[in-house]
Amino acid sequence: MADMIVGEQKANRTETQPGLFHLTLTRRKVMWAYIFLAIPIIFFLYIRIYPTLFAFQMSLYDWNPLAAEQHFVGLENYQTLVEELSSDKSVTRAAFVNTWHYVIIGMPLQLVLSLLIALMLNEIRALQTIFRLTFFLPFVTSTIAVSWVFRWLYQPQIGLLNVMLKAFSLPQQPFLRSPDQALYSILAVIIWQGLGFGVIIFLAGLKQIPRTYYEAAEVDGASRCQTFWNITLPLLNPTIVYLVVLQSISFLRTFAQVLAMSNQGDGGPLNSTTTVVLRVYREAFQRLNMGYASTLTITLFAIILIVTIVQLRLTTRSTE
Amino acid sequence: MDITQQPDHLPMRPYRSKSRTDFRYKALSYLCLMLIGMTMIVPFTWMISTSFKPKPETRRANFFPQEATTENYAYVMTETELPRWYLNSIIVAVMSTVSVAFFDTLAGYVFAKYQFPGKKIIFIMFLSSLMVPTEMLVIPWFIMSVHPPIGPTWVDTYWGIAFPGLITATGVFLMRQFMQGVPDELLDAGRIDGVSEFGLFWRIAVPLSLPAIGALCIFNFLGNWNAFIWPLIATSAKEMMTLPVGLQFFSSENGSDWHLIMTGASLSVIPLLIIVIIFQRYIIEGITLTGLKG
């Protein structure tokens, strides 16, 4: 019985020469796939995966790049983080609270504003390209250049904004110099710069809504408000979820603007603008406290991961 | 066909009033867009205006400089490292864009057109790297740069600034999507004609996906041009800084010399803006593509 099957297989193999050729072709293709992917695989393992694991490892050490040997401290860095987060006066707590403010105020404002602009752009024909370009330019400009331009606009007395306030005989504002206003001044710049991205994504989303829906609504005599709430908004849902996540993550990572716009790049005045990433930068590269800085980045990573997972949940539900 | 059966009032719907509200919405839209557009443009024009002012005039709020001067530009171009920063930025951005264009396209092609064991795991490994923020990797990258596996330190070298961005997961994903549209019959016909596997990629797949590669290149170039946190960490010598890092360094050094800071900002921004204006259609397409699918 067994002999017969083997015999049959042998017969099959000798009979189908092209199949044999096919087999070697498949094998050859597999070989070439691995050859083509060799460098990318090594790259991702060595430049992405390994450093990720390395960051986790560093967070368990009292890591100082200048020391000859690194001390394993277990979860001590995480303990320090929890202690700092629960103490009112700590810079780390300020960094997390500020970052939360950047996200929770900045993200919705940016979202609503860019949706409004996209809706208006969608309304018009003439000059659409030029307007779109106008909103888009800040987005492709270097953040550092933008930040310094606004730092100049925000200057007391000689800055354009205070000059304009004076012209309308309104009181002068300290903007970046005041612990109460600095965060919002920086936030305004981030929103200003990021609007264009939201506008472009929303425009693309609006274009995907079939015209027939609007025609049907018009035939039914729906008002503009009704059309917006019942057609545009629900159909834009995937775009909105996508932007909420992307913008939240980008606000969570706020760094360059604060470095460029606060005095000495210290997240001042009085730590009122400092962020988690700025804290990471200063801990790691100015105080050389890399173990603790890694702990902070892992916390940030965890937050971003949660935001992403919530998005995946939401989008899969909305497409069901 | 059913039109005759519609309720009587429907065809009577006043189209004129509809078009009148349409007009009102249009006018309102133009007005709002104009106002918001102004706030987008004014900072740029103010930056340029300041850059042509001599220092005492920065204290006055006139838009057109009374004694317009190009001295600021001469100063920044000759007395600072800005031309060098420009060169560095170009070298780093070109280096990473060429690498991304080649490797992302190749990897995307393999994921789209080849079947091999472990394909799924490798693809997931690539994509999972998108979850990890750069900020988490900069510290390990820095340690790796100070003590590289072979050779001298990577700090203050072009390789050191560019290496994290030489292959990108977004690009691989984007190119895989695009390469799926390359017909298998074409590749098989090539195989029968004895074209090598690399030849199939280089002479059939690549020419068919040039638009996507173009979008990827522009997008990647912009991203590298404006990249800040890693170049800031990877460079300490003035002459190795990229443009954003150099601008940050220069501006912090010149605290209140706003005419010079605005000149530096103008010089770093304007050439790129011109390129963006020329290529705006492709850039916006690229962003929509990577934005919606990434």
CA distance A258 to B63: 28
Domain locations along chain B: 81-293
| A21 part of contact set with chain B, CB < 8 Å | no
CA distance A120 to A113: 11
CA distance B207 to B204: 6
CA distances from A254 to A93, A102, A189, A248 (A): 16, 8, 12, 10
Q: Chains A and B: how many Cβ contacts under 8 Å?
A: 258
Instruction: Among A109-123, A146-160, A214-228, B113-127, name the one with the lowest average pLDDT.
Output: A214-228
Q: Quick one: pLDDT band at residue B19, thresholds 50, 70, 90?
A: low
The pLDDT tens digits of the residues spanning A60-111 come to 999 988 888 888 998 999 999 999 999 888 999 999 999 999 999 999 999 9
CB atoms within 10 A of CB A88: 6
* Average pLDDT of the segment spanning B236-250: 94
Best residue in A27, A50, A148 for a mutation probing chain B (most B CBs within 10 Å):
A148
Instruction: Among A148-152, A173-177, A315-319, B273-277, name the one with the lowest average pLDDT.
Output: A315-319
What are the φ and ψ backbone dihedral angles of B243, each rounded to 5 degrees?
A: -55, -50
The minimal CB distance from A43 to the residues B59, B134, B167 is found for B167
CA distance B24 to B228: 44
CA distance A279 to B246: 21
The pLDDT tens digits of the residues spanning A259-278 come to 999 988 888 899 999 999 99
Instruction: Judge contact between B245 and B228, C-beta under 8 A.
Output: yes
Are A259 and B248 inside 8 Å of each other by CB? yes
| DSSP β-bridge partners for residue A72 | A61
CA distance B53 to A95: 38
Instruction: Among B30-44, B98-112, B210-224, name the one with the lowest average pLDDT.
Output: B210-224
pLDDT, position B20 = 60
| B45 part of contact set with chain A, CB < 8 Å | no
pLDDT, position B180 = 92
The pLDDT tens digits of the residues spanning A149-174 come to 999 999 998 899 999 999 999 999 99
The pLDDT tens digits of the residues spanning A41-61 come to 999 999 999 999 999 999 999
pLDDT, position A225 = 85
The ipTM assigned to this model is 0.87
Instruction: Report B:90-149 residues touching A (Cβ under 8 A).
Output: 103, 106-107, 109-110, 114-117, 119, 122, 125-126, 129, 131-144, 146
pLDDT, position B21 = 67
pLDDT, position A96 = 95
With 80 as the cut, is the pLDDT of residue B139 above it? yes
pLDDT, position B1 = 40
The minimal CB distance from A290 to the residues B29, B103, B139 is found for B139
With 60 as the cut, is the pLDDT of residue A9 above it? no
Q: Quick one: pLDDT band at residue A214, thresholds 50, 70, 90?
A: confident
Are A300 and B135 inside 8 Å of each other by CB? yes
Q: Which residues, at least 6 apart from B58, have a Cβ–Cβ distance to it below 8 Å?
A: A158, B50, B258, B259
The pTM for the full model equals 0.87
* Average pLDDT of the segment spanning B234-240: 94
CATH architecture under which domain B81-293 falls = Orthogonal Bundle (1.10)
With 80 as the cut, is the pLDDT of residue B216 above it? yes
Domains in chain A, CATH or no CATH each: 87-319 (1.10.3720.10)
